[in-house]
Structure 1
Amino acid sequence: MARSAGLRGGRAWLLRRGRALTAHRGVADGPGGESRPSRTAAASRAEAWAGMAAVCVRGTESGHAAGSVRGVESGRACGARAAGGHRASNPAGLLGSWFSEQAVRRTGGRIRPRGGRLGLTSILLVGLLTACTTPPPPLVDPTEVSELPAEEIPSEIVIGVDSFAGGFNPHRLADLSTPTTALASLMLPSVFRPGPDGTPRLDGTLMNDAEVVGSAPFTVRYDIRPDASWSDSAPIAAEDFVYLWERMRSEPGVVDAAGYRLIEDIVPGDGGKTVEVVFSEPYPGWQSLFTHLLPAHLIKDAPGGWQRALAQRYPLSGGPFTMTAFDRGRGEIVLERNDRYWEQPSDVLRLVLRENSHPGLTDSLASGDNQLAVLTADAVALNMIAAAETEEPLRTRSLPRAETAQVLLRPASPVLADDELRRAIGAALDRDALIAIGTRSGPSADLVADSQVLAPSEPGYAAARPAGSTLGTGDAESLHELLSDEGYTVDDGWWERDGTRLSLVVAAPADQEPYSSLAGHVARQLRDVGIETEVVRPSATDFYDDLLQRDVDEVSSSGGTGEESSTGDAASEVPAVDIAVAPMGVGADPAATLATRLGCPAPIEGSDATPPVNLAGFCDEEVDQLLDAALTGSVPLAEARAELEPILWDEAVVLPLFQLADTVVFGTGMSGGETWRPYLGPFAGASEWQRDGSGP
């Protein structure tokens, strides 16, 4: 009786809700100029939809009341008939599809929907809200989901963030961000994950074992759990390893590609649940590989899959949560418990990441609307948080991000291929001023990067800048002397020779901070010493995948205007980049990170494709030998670092600035947020978070 009453109440609520949702919808232009339904048409369709729901609910209700499969099957058949209409224009078809697609199972003579934890009314709400808009496109070309859950549930935790820029592929520099790292840690499986001390630990939720089984050739065997699967029930298997290997060794602008380039072959076994990886050389950092596996069966054959499949959302999950909605306009991502996760389910049912300004984040924490916030804080934001009107002061914690800001003086450019000129221009840059501008007295100010090899948060880090280095000192005297010796003269405040001004192009990704802002300040410092500059800010994808991959023989540096270009310029119209302001990824294997940043291009085994170059366009035989020795373990990293640091500071290719850091602010209403791991931030323990008062 209680179940029947609940179904009848749900039917009545559904009818009311359908009318309310459509009452305000008028004629408007939809995508492609199509006209949306009028209020009358929308209301009529809502009546039809709710009526069909009533019929289907009655059929299902009868089955539950009788305790038999037959009544439920009748309801499912009703749903199948309703699903016959066109889904974009027939709401009854959408709802019917929901009824026909819900899995039901028999337990102790009772029939209940799969999952069983949500009442039918709540499930109908989700179906209704999803059907109120055009269904999302196929998974191979995902776009934003505009309909978000309208009601808070008791076991929901809201995390405030200050930016949703970029996509969600954690392996691409173009998508590097705190939300990307967070989502990857919650939805993408990894062979190893950082432990509390930062050292890799085998992830037992995915793997049974991973071990070195051969030395000639160096071979590692991975044993994947038989029950590990993606949220569409496809197994997590060898093809996911192969896909990540193939992309990481051949795609430009990726984080930590060097280790993957040592792989010679991948041999699957046991139906894809056993993977043997054969290397061309010994690789002591092999535990850093195969982090954040991607669903190959969904992405590998999709056009632009590597760049586009995760551009707007995660179409599948292999972790404790799955993404159910993302509205970029409203700045909100909704994650819900993955019902198909094979391990211990998360304690919390829903996580909501909500974008807001720093004042908005502070107010939301103070009011209890947000339970946690993760932001890139400056001194103003920190003071605002400290002054928040709360019963107890808001607690904060600073966590280093897996990226370091750097200025690249690119030898690949026609101008800076001149070593002496590159060193002189590097000396003219004021590094301290750039650090102050980029950190804005936030927590990153305590993470100044004084090493070419290690980031400040990495084990073994120590300042290694040689005492006599002039790189980044802001001293323009040597530049003026060099230019005078080279035949340059000053005319109207600008250095020129034979009537042509000395001009440089400074580039940064448009939608990534602090790099975009820092590029403007680098350009201003150069203008102050008489060098004309042009600032270009293409999209992050164009910046990493195109602009910094060009053959210098095909482009030439044009005269700059001293003005900053708009972000709308196509990458093909941008001249050769002389100076780039970009991130350096920080990974589990520092040797691989360094070899990825500064190593020479390596041929792709079994492919005629042109191998990607590092972002600086730098290749030095002596440096490359040392990088290879550190990567393969023939020389310890500490020993290689002692030789590399003075060479790299003298080459004046990379001007390291600072490591980025997030500020985590703890509000009230939840527990467990204090658990964190290096490079994963506070989201590492999200599956164990609990909302206060929600119960187990």
Structure 2
Amino acid sequence: MGERSVVVALAAVLLVAACTATPPPPLVPSTPGMTVVPKEKQNELVVGVDDVKGGYNPHTLAAQSAITTALSSLLLPSTFRTDADGSPRVDLDLLVSAEVTGADPYTVTYTLRRDASWSDSAPIAAEDFVYLWQRMREEPGVVNPAGYRLIDDITSREGGKVVEVVFAEPYPGWRSLFHDLLPAHLLKDAPGGWGAALADSFPATAGPFAVRNLDQPRGEIILERNDRYWEQPPALDRLVLRRASQGDIVEALDTSDNHVALIRADAIALRDVDELAKAQPVTVTTVPRPEVVTVLFRPAAPRMGDVRVRTAISNILDRDELIALGTRSGPSAHLRADAQVTPPSKPGYAATMPAETGDPVQLLTEAGYTRTDGYWGRDGSRLELTIAAPAGIEPYVAVANEVQRQLSLSGIGGRVLTTQPNELFARDLGLTDGPDNAVDIAVVPRLDTGDSAAVLASSFGCTTSPQDGGTPIPGNLSGFCDQSVQPVIEQALSGEVLLSDALAAVEPVLWQQAVSMPLFQVADLLVVLPEAREVTAGAPFAGPFGTASSWRLEGR
């Protein structure tokens, strides 16, 4: 065959190949170590949820949600988990041991499993402990940093697999630290720093599941079995979290398109679930979150520095109406929070709220205000307050608007400030004096991370100025500091006094100072179809996803 004939033949072959339908490239997992399961063979469980929007850092107030708790328990390693009775239990999937190994200085030693690693094969090691410690003690808007601020140093040996944490003083609540570790090797130098950590994705994971797809616009998160997980693999091949309205979620349960639902139900959703339960034997459980909706009256704000003004405003507000509006007659309606520190569903909770005292008119008059033309004012200026809430997060925005409405009916002007959660907690609530836009009242969550003494110290303790001129330690969200109770708060944190004795001394002062008005504990409704096996409410505050490794579908 001549050269021209070869060229013609080759061109013909190429033409035929070009006309042939080319198969699509293979689907590549978004997370290393994850095996794609053919659709026809999937053992898949679908959970209906209220939302899947971003901000998944469990250590920031800005990212708190049911979906953050769910993803953290499935994708991030922890030194301790919560047992069914609420007590901390060492997580042997990550640790060989964790124990107090020194008294002077107080030292806790963690021995990590050699095979524990992130999904990109980097070992889980001491640098992950150091990263979390440094961020928790320095960043504003983090959840209960008081325990981390007691740490003096972290050292390591044996390639970072033995971690020694040295405390400035004894800390009996140390088991509440170092949960939901983050991949330091990917985050410490990442663009955007701490504020962007886990903003819309997980760069690496270390749990039984890995992220297959995280599609916020479509409202769907797909998790698949992590083949690089070193422990027992989950029973499910795939776990899907799917956003929908509450009505659509109940309808999807009725058609078995969803197998489980976890929603912050209102009265209408409760009625729909009751109707569903008449048609099939679903299991319905209330799941309290570790989150109490709280109204802060901020002494740090110039207009709120006078306790008489704070007390007057607290007494003007109709707390029952705020609770009714925020709970929407859902499961949270049965979890009224009448104590400053311990949430209603936690063992040891006891109501401490005193009877209301003080006439608002008299208190405002004593503070130098007069009412003219229906408005309170002083020195020629009306009393106008800024009421802040995290943008797009309910029930906080709704409660803030109701606070503004109630105050306006009493002659106090106000504007509702809704900013992005990261900006609110890291910037707006960090202002301590001066500017006209300082936040006077904030509707925010208070979180219980296991150690109520740390909650007390983080929420109401005074700021300690660093002795070495280093990074200042942010204060609490209200800017409250009372030296008369500070020693008791510190003694509760170090275990020198019982928490119950500390609360007995401190809570009356908090109520008298009118610093915060707790409203209710947020709760979700868990609905489970009969074919979804082993799905329970889970350990207290851990949520149902803490046991997702054992979930399965009947017959799969």
- Bin the TM-score by the shorter chain: over 0.9
C-alpha change, 1:605 and 1:351, in structure 2 (3 Å) is farther
Whether the aligned pair in 2 keeps the contact of 1:165 and 1:511 (CA below 8 Å) is: no
- The reply to whether residue 614 of structure 1 matches residue 502 of structure 2 is no
Q: Give the equivalent residue in structure 1 for 2:12.
A: none
Displacement of 1:489 in angstroms is: 3.2
Displacement of 1:441 in angstroms is: 1.3
SS in 1 for 2:159: helix
Q: Give the equivalent residue in structure 1 for 2:360.
A: 479
Q: Give the equivalent residue in structure 1 for 2:215.
A: 327
Whether the aligned pair in 2 keeps the contact of 1:162 and 1:355 (CA below 8 Å) is: yes
C-alpha change, 1:365 and 1:152, in structure 2 (3 Å) is farther
SS in 1 for 2:484: helix
Counterpart mapping for 1:267-286 below 5 A: 267-286=155-174
Q: Give distance in 2, aligned partners of 1:47 and 1:637.
A: 76
C-alpha change, 1:402 and 1:675, in structure 2 (3 Å) is closer
Q: What letter matches 1:642 in structure 2?
A: A
Q: Give the equivalent residue in structure 2 for 1:636.
A: 498
Whether the aligned pair in 2 keeps the contact of 1:250 and 1:604 (CA below 8 Å) is: no
Whether the aligned pair in 1 keeps the contact of 2:538 and 2:544 (CA below 8 Å) is: yes
SS in 2 for 1:444: helix
SS in 2 for 1:693: coil
SS in 2 for 1:684: helix
Displacement of 1:308 in angstroms is: 1.3
Q: Give distance in 2, aligned partners of 1:671 and 1:339.
A: 23
Q: Give the equivalent residue in structure 1 for 2:299.
A: 411
Q: What letter matches 2:442 in structure 1?
A: A
C-alpha change, 1:449 and 1:623, in structure 2 (3 Å) is same
CA deviations over 1:450-471 (Å, ceiling 9, x no partner): 11121112221111123x443x
Question: Paired residue for 1:361, among 231, 239, 249?
Answer: 249
Q: Give distance in 2, aligned partners of 1:662 and 1:402.
A: 11
Q: Give distance in 2, aligned partners of 1:485 and 1:636.
A: 38
Q: Give the equivalent residue in structure 1 for 2:403.
A: 522
Counterpart mapping for 1:106-505 below 5 A: 122=38, 151=39, 153-388=41-276, 391-466=279-354, 468-470=355-357, 478-505=359-386
Whether the aligned pair in 1 keeps the contact of 2:52 and 2:221 (CA below 8 Å) is: no
Q: What letter matches 1:526 in structure 2?
A: L
Displacement of 1:607 in angstroms is: 6.1
Q: Give distance in 2, aligned partners of 1:497 and 1:442.
A: 41
CA deviations over 1:372-431 (Å, ceiling 9, x no partner): 000001111100111138741432100110110000000001011011111111111111
Q: Which has the larger radius of gyration?
A: 1
CA deviations over 1:502-539 (Å, ceiling 9, x no partner): 11111101121111110000111111110011111011
C-alpha change, 1:203 and 1:606, in structure 2 (3 Å) is farther
Give the superposed CA RMSD.
2.4
Q: Give distance in 1, aligned partners of 2:172 and 2:258.
A: 43
- The reply to whether residue 513 of structure 1 matches residue 401 of structure 2 is no
Q: Give the equivalent residue in structure 2 for 1:660.
A: 522
Q: Give distance in 2, aligned partners of 1:503 and 1:156.
A: 54
SS in 2 for 1:582: strand
Whether the aligned pair in 2 keeps the contact of 1:409 and 1:578 (CA below 8 Å) is: yes
Q: What letter matches 2:258 in structure 1?
A: N
SS in 2 for 1:552: coil
Q: Give distance in 2, aligned partners of 1:412 and 1:284.
A: 31
Q: Give distance in 1, aligned partners of 2:353 and 2:31.
A: 62
Q: What letter matches 2:239 in structure 1?
A: L
Whether the aligned pair in 2 keeps the contact of 1:165 and 1:512 (CA below 8 Å) is: no
Q: Give distance in 2, aligned partners of 1:623 and 1:593.
A: 15
Q: Give distance in 1, aligned partners of 2:318 and 2:239.
A: 43
Q: Give the equivalent residue in structure 1 for 2:5.
A: none
Displacement of 1:164 in angstroms is: 2.3
State the identity as a percent: 50
Q: Give distance in 1, aligned partners of 2:327 and 2:374.
A: 31
Deviating 4+ runs (over 4 angstroms): 46-51, 604-607
Whether the aligned pair in 2 keeps the contact of 1:455 and 1:659 (CA below 8 Å) is: yes
Whether the aligned pair in 2 keeps the contact of 1:386 and 1:394 (CA below 8 Å) is: no
- Higher-RCO chain (CA-CA 8 Å, sequence separation at least 6): 2
- List gaps (5 residues or longer) in structure 1: 1-43, 54-90, 104-113, 123-150, 471-476, 557-574
Whether the aligned pair in 2 keeps the contact of 1:601 and 1:613 (CA below 8 Å) is: yes
CA deviations over 1:175-206 (Å, ceiling 9, x no partner): 00000000000110000000000100000000
Q: Give distance in 1, aligned partners of 2:366 and 2:291.
A: 39
Displacement of 1:606 in angstroms is: 6.0
Whether the aligned pair in 1 keeps the contact of 2:283 and 2:530 (CA below 8 Å) is: no
Q: Give the equivalent residue in structure 2 for 1:23.
A: none
Q: Give the equivalent residue in structure 2 for 1:547.
A: 428
* Count of residue correspondences: 541
Whether the aligned pair in 2 keeps the contact of 1:600 and 1:619 (CA below 8 Å) is: yes
C-alpha change, 1:606 and 1:224, in structure 2 (3 Å) is farther
Q: What letter matches 1:646 in structure 2?
A: P
C-alpha change, 1:588 and 1:488, in structure 2 (3 Å) is closer
C-alpha change, 1:292 and 1:216, in structure 2 (3 Å) is same
